[in-house]
Structure 1
């Protein structure tokens, strides 16, 4: 494996696990530990990782990783989360789907549903659902974020304020171990907060990699979520808090 592909794999592993260990990577990739350490130094110099004793972690972030990278990250887990989420949503329901690659997976998982009204500020979701004759799709207008097809800002929030939907299906960029849901763009956060207010029940869809990431803007708390669909929660204390908050947690 050449240097470029090896470093790409190291980045992907860090995004999945939150950290990488040099000796573990060396064993898995069949190279010398010194080779991995050189890779880690290069990735840290480029600002893609931060060195720790024996390895590296994702950097403390104030900006999100690229949308294409997010699509590929934990793809199988996102599909399982989406299928479980679709089971919670009956036919003849109204719902909101926000920006995010897991929300896109949920849109695909709703392909067999009928008589749904779906409001979204995600052009990718709208295009997916346009293939389902059983869905009426309403696009909440706003400022287009070209990087991911999201519609954000005051216009989107005002449009959402006109609705009261059965379910809000939301993703998030990061989850603090206190239970706070975090994101990067204040304009998107404003819309997500309005979505939660406009829903009778909120479903959070997020894989466990979100627990190893950081983001600077608070969206809401798990206490405001009725259902949390994920693959793993790293803290028993947080699982107990979810029970105290009456947040139903489902693992896939």
Structure 2
């Protein structure tokens, strides 16, 4: 396969999965690691990808990519993360579910939970959980962000501060190598900080495409998170910091039948 065709397919894989790895691409194309490293360096020089440890991610900027694109990125992994997170959410509890496509995956896994009080600033989460008759759903109000159904602003924050949640589940747009959680919307940052302050325990749901990305606004640190649900081991510095902070890293796995089918078992 020519370099130009490889470059196009590498970009397509990155758009679909949010991240590419040197080893994964080398196996996919049947070429050497050095060849893939050169490809990624060329794409980074063209501004089409950003190099991170072990691979590359889509370029960062001061604005996030579109909602429909975000929802399709690493979609299977988000389902697995949502399932793993929901399994740790007890029934008969009050929870907050924030903005993000991965928190929406968590909501979809809560449809059989009973006696939940769910507060959310995510219109998509509210719509998903309207199908669970055993969940009381409260929408915060606020300024509607039409791009993704998120609610932000002072009204959102004021509503959040009226509650004390057993558990909060939030996402982020990017994660620095020092464990800082980042976002593109300053108003959403203020909302997430209020959510964390009003929760007894906090969960972060973020797939591996967030590793090494950059965004301009700081939400907080993984040190403020009790359990970080993701689909791949984070960079070594992040994992080490989490151990020091007592932040659990919970790696999700696909269902057993999916793993068996992928490995050719019958």
Please give the TM-score of this superposition, normalised by the length of structure 1: 0.83
Show structure 1 runs of 4+ deviating over 4 A.
Answer: 6-9, 18-21, 23-26, 47-52
Between the aligned partners of 2:48 and 2:157, the Cα distance in structure 1 is 33
CA–CA distance in structure 2, aligned partners of residues 132 and 169 of structure 1: 18
> 2: CA distance between counterparts of 1:151 and 1:44?
37
Partner of 2:179: 179
Given that residues 19 and 58 in structure 1 are in contact (C-alpha distance below 8 angstroms), is that contact kept between their aligned partners in structure 2? Answer: no
Query: Where does residue 92 of structure 2 map in the other structure?
Result: 92
Name 1:107's counterpart in structure 2. Answer: 107
Give the aligned CA root-mean-square deviation in angstroms. Answer: 3.1
> Matches of 2:86 and 2:51 in 1, distance apart?
40
Secondary structure (helix, strand or coil) at the match of 1:113 reads coil
Show the counterpart of 1:207: 207
CA displacement, residues 172-220 of structure 1 (integer Å, 9 cap, x when unaligned): 0001110000000001111010000010000000111100311110001
State the shift of 1:60 in Å.
Answer: 3.2
Change (3 A) 1:51 1:100: closer
Shift of 1:26: 9.8
Which position in structure 1 is the counterpart of 2:256? none
Partners of 1:217 and 1:184 in 2: CA distance: 6
SS in 1 for 2:201: strand
Alignment of 1:59-74 (within 5 A): 59-74=59-74
Deviation at 1:237, TM superposition (A): 2.9
Please report the TM-score for the alignment, with normalisation by the length of structure 2.
0.79
Q: In the alignment, is the contact (CA less than 8 A) between 2:118 and 2:136 conserved in 1?
A: yes
SS of corresponding position for 2:218: strand
Structure 2 match to 1:13: 14
**Distance (Å, rounded) in 2 between the aligned partners of 1:165 and 1:76:** 29
Q: Tell me the CA shift for residue 85 of structure 1.
A: 0.7
- Aligned mates of 2:20, 2:73 — CA distance in 1: 12
Distance in 2 between the 1:105 and 1:207 partners? 12
In 2, are the aligned partners of 1:18 and 1:213 still within 8 Å (CA)?
no
Q: 1:237 is matched with which residue? A: 237
Q: Give the deviation of 1:87 after TM superposition.
A: 1.2
Aligned length: 239
Identify unmatched segments of 5+ residues in structure 1: none
* Maintained 8 Å contact 1:18/1:212: no
Measure the CA separation in 1 of the matches of 2:233 and 2:51.
25
Map residues 207-226 of structure 1 onto 2, 5 A cutoff.
207-226=207-226
